[in-house]
Structure 1
Amino acid sequence: MGHFSTIRHATMDTQWSLAEATKCLMKFINTGAIGPINGTFKMYSIVQQSAADVTFMAALISVTVQDPPPPDRYIIKIDPRSGTVLSSELASITRAELEAICAEAGIGPVETSQRYKDGSFSVSYKVVCGESTPYIVQLRSNGNLDTIHAVHDLVTQKHPQAIPTPKLFKTTVVPRAGLPVQISAFVDGVMADVAYSTLGLSEKSQLLKHVARAFEAVWSLIPLPPDSEIGEALIDPATHALSVGPDRRYRMGGPFQSVSSFLEAWIRRSVRMLQEQEAVDEYKSKYLDRILRFTATMPACIPECVNQVPIVTTHADMGLHNMILSSHPPHNLEAIIDWEFFYCYPFPYSVSCLIEPLFSDLSETEIENGAEETLRAAFWGEIPFWRHVLSLEHCKIFQDFFNFGLYLKVEAVRGPKTTVETHWQAWERNCRVVDAFLSRYAPCLLYVTMLKEIDPDGDLLITLIPSAEPFADESLFDAESGVDNGSEASVFETEPDPNGDRLMSEPDDASATEIEEIAEPLAPTFQFKVSSRNMASASRRFKKMLLGGWLEATTIHADGLRHVDMEGFDPDAFAIVMYLIHGLNKKEQVPREVGLEMLAKIAVITDDLGCYDAVALASEIWLQALGDTLDAATETYDRTMIVSMLIANVFADRSRFRLYVEQAVWESTGPIPTMGLPIPRKVVDTISASREDLIDTAIKRLDDLLESLMGGSECYPACQCMLVGSLTLAIRNLGLGPHPQRPYVGQSLNALVKSMGKIQTPKWSTPGCAHSHNCNISRSIAEIVAGLLMFSPAEFGDLFPTHPLLSL
């Protein structure tokens, strides 16, 4: 009667077998074998795995129909070696089978039956038997029925008030589908996950007090020794003796002999899933290599103290979706259902996976009104002993590692309007958890770290990872391309964000090799020990970060410091800025002269941190020393000029900035390539608009001249025709006709004006005779060119400044 998977250890062979079987399953479903796939997502669970085959339960869940009926679920057996489907049949119970099941269970003849709401891993029927009493009959694809019945017996004996459960009935009848059957009394009410958002704060608080007592009762249902194994709890129905089996819920293998080995398996499982996840390339490029390097040395990184975390009996799926409330106020807890995942797990597992969502799944209004802390206090205030246990250091460290595994894998963000920005918004919490973890446990990584103590008594540690890309890469500059390869705006415009039981759909546990060798070290990282007070005083960015209640402001790490990670800056330039922020200016700390490249790197950091005042005096000295180089850049249009424009913009060099702008207007052939430098979009767009407006002006005036010639004049008709034809041909050769459109990519204003200056009035002659005339388009062209040459960026007033000093 017991039913559970035969997986004992998650070996490489079983991982490969499961991966191949999952691929075959997806291919089979995509053929339409179990129904049309359009407008659905695929849901599946593993029923059983052996050396020869893997059995799945699979269904197509509608995403287009609101409140769809229970889907048809299929039992599909696959041979992973050959990639063939051995069998596929509908998971169902016939009327005759229902009659036999209910008769043996002693609940009377069946009056009516209908499909009912399925659980994640079951096919359910609501059956009305004698005296119109309703029951739920389920085909179970997961869980050990012997254990489920034993748990219900124990709950009824020990904690019937704290853990309300529906009465169970036994049967030995096995339907054609081959899955075990569970029968329970029907509980009338509303699912808690549906009702929770409709409850007021007081109702939620009362409910969570009962939920807290239920968790406490489950954790103490069977006292476990400190050295208990970790895995599925298997309970003898007669003696209630407990043994521990492999972990089926997450297919991690086991049972595990220690908390540290459980954590290692948990994190490795998540890493394998991340490696196989598709459509998350941005996230992988940022984090996967660092995560792999951590897992390569993970056994040595998990502190021994985590093995002091208590192991408790756990309903591993005891979320709101498995709680039934009374239909009418005060919405009391009527039943906790679906006990197929009864496990011996470390106590904080329930906190991360099941309890914390009770406090975080709130409306914006509730969050603003402090509901999270109110609900947290209501829950833990009901069970003060466990609140104390959770506060112990070994439990906190366990949660660090467990949450790292919980959040390191992200889900793909799909939809017609998704962008890179929406991806990172969806992954904000994942990034926050992973960044905080790797920051705290960075000594376990194979980084070469160089520490510079700007302030030996500092309380803030900045870890800088330099960019692997060249600074202002010259290959991105192509004056003829008209393509902007640079950034959109100063990165200082970005404010930090304070906000800090999944079913399978598509393969998420496919093949992946274990990390067998330690990877080569990454490029060096640089750490700067600084004063948070100085940073907040001098830097706009750090002021928001450290005084605004963000994670960086509130987290004190094991070394007693707050930690901040930064990427992309030159470490030498960063050190100079840090010294200036801390009021240090010795020659060996702050050089009196720097090259153009170094000054540009300092400008990028100054702009990002918003620390203009701290760098102002030194920048005046540097600008004066580089005067000749910066002046020469006003006569060119190349990488040096763009870099110089950045420097002038950040360090308030108004006169040179306007010369650079003028040069860019005249020489650019499209939007200026910023090469990744934080030149504001406003500047780029205004330069482009000015260039295009002047080309518009040239076109209009040439057209006006042509119209005047065609409209008649005192000129001879033959002379008139000659001038009109000559000007029309000249306009065509300039690339300005017929009717060109903005943005005139490939056309520079300077080249246009030079070409216009070459337009000459033709001479009119006939055989044996030359004719003189006073008609002259050269003078008209010269007037147009003179008007264009009157352009000056001074006309734009204070259109460009981004530095506060530029508006003075």
Structure 2
Amino acid sequence: MTSTLMTQDDAAAAILAYAFSGAIGPVDGKGVNYALLNTISTAFTWSISLEDFDADPMPIDRYLVKIDRRTKEISPPKPITLSEAELKEVILAATKRHTSSSSRFTDGSLSTSYRVNVQNHPEEYVVQLRHHGKVASMDFLMALISRTIDPGILPVPTVYPIPGEMERQEMTGMGKQVTQLIPGEMADSVYYSQLSHEQRLAFVKRAALAFQACWEQIRLPHPPLIGELLGDESNGLVIGPDRHYSLGGPFTTVRAYLRAWIRYSLSTLIKQQGIDEFKNRYLARIENFIDRYEYDIPAVVEDIPIVAIHEDMGLHNIILGSSTEIRAIIDWEFIASAPYAAQDQIIETLFRKPAPNQFGPELDRANELRAAFWDTIPEWKRRNESEATKTFLDWFKFGLFMKPEPLLDDLTEEEKQAYWQENIRIVEEMLDRYGATRS
């Protein structure tokens, strides 16, 4: 009798249980960050870590684990690190300089990072062991941006490609990237707590110009498909299947992209734990709605511009210099060719307080901040007010908000009522607009 192979969802559940068992360290007050690195017929390979999401950013211990799809056995965890000898080899290959010292550095969500000094040279480097981004493509795109876009508007760190790294990453599943160290403060560490309203106004205007530069100055292949934007010296820019959310593609129409996005969102809603009250109330109605109306997305959405976007261009990936000067935008792991309004949630974080449910209350005088952003790029303000964008956002936000985050244990009754308020509002409006049957 043939045994049933473990599915990716089953493997993810097993990996979470493994991490929360204490196998990689004490779990009190921490969450698990995990990512699928590789799939073969017999095994899944994951990176896992325990993270205190409320603590200050600090180096994180990440581990590589494999789970056998037949036996369901999990291999002993292996630290995802670079040795001192490996760091020296990487720096020499990329910069032709010799390392004098190195130390762990604040990590990204999908990378292990090191700060490196070299002999007889003032420049410092960051070496990142990346679990997700295709390093050769990242290097190509970042170098392209540096050559073609004003660094005063869209600054990126200088990259130092490592010869042969694309082939090594294909073999190992992890790639090494070397970039210039940019000194400064991460914007999310000061934007909410230290900047005045006037400083925030100045910052959002600069941020608007950075978004505009991506949208207008990174030239996409024609016709512009929707998917991951990749590049290399031989082929230039190409568009492949979406890898950020595993939507598939590349998509030839906005409607096809939205249908894939909504189906993905439904799948994540079904899998989400700790929201039984929300599921009991809405899941059947949402499934019924999608089955009946996913092919009724209005054709006007095809008029929305398809542009290049950094899919994670939030405050946590912006380095500030003095006050509101943008010194660098980092972590270009996921670059897409997509409708510009797919960045609505990221842009909205400039006008809202951070919150565990990803939709915090508006900052004081948020309307002034929002107006400053869009007034800085008036052509895009007009597009943002168009029927095409408004219709696109109806469907995109329906996908975004149909899966709420689990309620936190320490919420007051008033906070509980507000926690899912936006999820309920958007879902209810969409279902009622189309007359979806109530359960």
Select the residue among 10, 13, 16 that pairs with 1:26.
16
The Cα of 1:148 is off from its aligned counterpart by 1.0
- Check 1:149–1:237 CA distance in 2 against 1; reply closer, same or farther (3 A cut): farther
How many residue pairs are counted as aligned between the two chains?
424
Q: What does 1:750-761 align with in structure 2 at a 5 Å threshold?
A: none
Select the residue among 365, 372, 376 that pairs with 1:378.
372
Q: Establish whether residue 300 from structure 1 lines up as the match of residue 289 from structure 2.
A: no
Partner of 2:25: helix, strand, or coil?
coil
Q: Establish whether residue 207 from structure 1 lines up as the match of residue 199 from structure 2.
A: no
1:87-106, CA deviations, whole angstroms, 9 ceiling, x for partnerless residues?
Answer: 63110000000111111112
Q: Establish whether residue 57 from structure 1 lines up as the match of residue 47 from structure 2.
A: yes
Partner of 1:220: helix, strand, or coil?
helix
The Cα of 1:78 is off from its aligned counterpart by 2.3
Which sits farther off after the overlay, 226-235 or 100-109? 226-235
Select the residue among 41, 46, 50 that pairs with 2:31.
41
Q: Distance in 2 between the 1:346 and 1:178 partners? A: 29
The Cα of 1:361 is off from its aligned counterpart by 2.6
Q: What does 1:407-806 align with in structure 2 at a 5 Å threshold?
A: 407-415=401-409, 417-418=410-411, 422-442=415-435, 445=436, 447=437
- Check 1:379–1:298 CA distance in 2 against 1; reply closer, same or farther (3 A cut): same
Percent identical: 35
The Cα of 1:196 is off from its aligned counterpart by 0.7
- Check 1:227–1:293 CA distance in 2 against 1; reply closer, same or farther (3 A cut): farther
The Cα of 1:167 is off from its aligned counterpart by 0.6
Q: Establish whether residue 190 from structure 1 lines up as the match of residue 185 from structure 2.
A: yes
Q: Establish whether residue 353 from structure 1 lines up as the match of residue 342 from structure 2.
A: no
1:445-494, CA deviations, whole angstroms, 9 ceiling, x for partnerless residues?
Answer: 2x3xxxxxxxxxxxxxxxxxxxxxxxxxxxxxxxxxxxxxxxxxxxxxxx
- Check 1:254–1:115 CA distance in 2 against 1; reply closer, same or farther (3 A cut): same
- Work out whether residues 121 and 140 of structure 1, in 8 Å CA contact, stay in contact via their aligned partners in 2: yes
Larger radius of gyration: 1
Question: Which gives a bigger RCO, structure 1 or 2 (Cα 8 Å, sep 6+)?
Answer: 2
Which sits farther off after the overlay, 33-42 or 94-103? 33-42
Partner of 1:747: none
- Work out whether residues 93 and 177 of structure 1, in 8 Å CA contact, stay in contact via their aligned partners in 2: no
- Check 1:124–1:334 CA distance in 2 against 1; reply closer, same or farther (3 A cut): same
Q: Establish whether residue 97 from structure 1 lines up as the match of residue 86 from structure 2.
A: yes
Partner of 1:168: helix, strand, or coil?
coil
Residue 227 of structure 2 aligns to which amino acid in structure 1? G
Q: Distance in 2 between the 1:190 and 1:63 partners? A: 18
- Work out whether residues 17 and 81 of structure 1, in 8 Å CA contact, stay in contact via their aligned partners in 2: no
The Cα of 1:348 is off from its aligned counterpart by 0.7
Q: Establish whether residue 340 from structure 1 lines up as the match of residue 336 from structure 2.
A: no
The Cα of 1:226 is off from its aligned counterpart by 7.3
Q: Establish whether residue 123 from structure 1 lines up as the match of residue 120 from structure 2.
A: no
Q: Distance in 1 between the 2:336 and 2:220 partners? A: 12
Partner of 1:139: helix, strand, or coil?
strand
Residue 161 of structure 1 aligns to which amino acid in structure 2? G
Gaps of 5+ in 2: 356-360
Select the residue among 114, 126, 143 that pairs with 2:133.
143
Q: Distance in 2 between the 1:91 and 1:325 partners? A: 29
Gaps of 5+ in 1: 1-12, 448-521, 524-808
Partner of 2:230: helix, strand, or coil?
strand
Partner of 1:165: 156
Q: Distance in 2 between the 1:385 and 1:422 partners? A: 38
- Check 1:67–1:206 CA distance in 2 against 1; reply closer, same or farther (3 A cut): closer
- Work out whether residues 131 and 175 of structure 2, in 8 Å CA contact, stay in contact via their aligned partners in 1: yes
Q: Distance in 1 between the 2:354 and 2:200 partners? A: 11
- Check 1:391–1:90 CA distance in 2 against 1; reply closer, same or farther (3 A cut): same
RMSD over equivalenced CA pairs, Å: 2.6
Partner of 2:349: helix, strand, or coil?
helix
Partner of 1:392: 386
Q: Distance in 1 between the 2:98 and 2:127 partners? A: 14
Partner of 1:245: 240
- Work out whether residues 143 and 159 of structure 2, in 8 Å CA contact, stay in contact via their aligned partners in 1: no
Q: Establish whether residue 313 from structure 1 lines up as the match of residue 308 from structure 2.
A: yes
- Check 1:266–1:302 CA distance in 2 against 1; reply closer, same or farther (3 A cut): same
Partner of 2:102: 113
1:608-641, CA deviations, whole angstroms, 9 ceiling, x for partnerless residues?
Answer: xxxxxxxxxxxxxxxxxxxxxxxxxxxxxxxxxx
Q: Distance in 2 between the 1:398 and 1:68 partners? A: 35
- Work out whether residues 264 and 298 of structure 1, in 8 Å CA contact, stay in contact via their aligned partners in 2: no
1:652-697, CA deviations, whole angstroms, 9 ceiling, x for partnerless residues?
Answer: xxxxxxxxxxxxxxxxxxxxxxxxxxxxxxxxxxxxxxxxxxxxxx
Q: What TM-score results when the alignment is normalised by the length of structure 1?
A: 0.50
Partner of 2:358: none
Q: Distance in 1 between the 2:353 and 2:60 partners? A: 27
